[in-house]
Amino acid sequence: MGNKSAAEAHKSARSWLDKLKPERFYENSYLPVLQQMGTEIIDSLGPITARHLSVIIARAHKFGRTGTQIKEQVWTAVGKRRRVSNEPSGEIVYWPDGAQISKSLPFRGLLVNGELRSWQDVPYQEKFGLALEIAGSEKRTDLAAVMAARIGFSRLKQVTRDELETLIITALDELKTR
């Protein structure tokens, strides 16, 4: 992460809020602003999905939606400035400067450096890291429920339960090969 701590990088990224010009968002001459903002957010909150980064940048510019054009502009600004990996779903994940790309990482929770994120915003590597931790330490039968409780969910939609169960199965398979 260079010379700045993650908290300093995040504070610095937030300092750009009063310099943002939504009316210039799509201009090539505005790319350096997006680039600096994007890389500082990545260094503060990363690893971070491209979708989540685009949403943060769009909301900072007061855009209510985050469509294809916004995502493309963010990619143009930061795509080659930070290392990227792909989740199994194909989602792009940006990695902080100096960070080692990894298959799994410890789950950092839903609040990272003061920025609230949803479960959908959590990169696969953290989701998988949480599944590995639970699969390796818990002996209960409903590991998805244990994982849900760890995330802070009291009730689960079926699609989320399915995702957690798939992560647990993948983690159990991984642990068998170690």
Domain boundary among 100, 125, 140: 100
DSSP state of 101: P
User: What is the spatial distance between Cα 166 and Cα 147, in angstroms, rounded to a whole number?
Assistant: 12
Predicted pLDDT at 7:
52
Comparing CA positions, the residue from 150, 158, 145 lying closest to residue 126 is 150
Give the pLDDT of residue 140: 74
Write down the mean pLDDT value for the chain.
90
Identify the helix (H) or strand (E) that includes residue 143.
helix 143-151
Nearest Cα to 48, choosing from 130, 112, 141? 112
Q: Is residue 110 in a domain?
A: no
Asked which of 73, 100, 127 is the last residue of a domain, the reply is 100
Question: Is 168 among the domain residues?
Answer: yes
pLDDT (0 to 100) of residue 11: 54
Within a domain: residue 105?
no
84 and 20 assigned to the same domain:
yes
Span 27-36, average pLDDT = 94
Q: What is the pTM of this model?
A: 0.87
pLDDT value at 3 more than 80: no
Query: How does residue 104 score in pLDDT terms, banded at 50, 70 and 90?
Result: very high
* Structural domain that includes position 121: 117-176
Domain count, the chain: 2
Q: Kindly tell me if the per-residue pLDDT of 29 is higher than 70.
A: yes
Q: Choose one of 74, 100, 126: the last residue of a domain.
A: 100
Give yes or no for residue 82 having a pLDDT over 80. yes
Q: What is the pLDDT of residues 37-64, one digit of tens each?
A: 999 999 999 999 999 999 999 999 999 9
pLDDT in tens, 116-134: 999 999 999 999 999 999 9
Domain membership of residue 109 (yes or no) is no
81 and 167 within one domain: no
Given this model, what pLDDT does residue 137 score?
87
Tell me what pLDDT residue 45 has. Answer: 96
How are the residues of the chain apportioned to helix, strand and coil, as percentages rounded to the nearest 5?
55, 5, 35
Residue range 154-175: average pLDDT?
Answer: 95
Domain-located, residue 160: yes
For residue 108, tell me if it sits in a domain: no
Q: Could you tell me which of 95, 81, 159, 90 has the C-alpha nearest to residue 126? A: 95
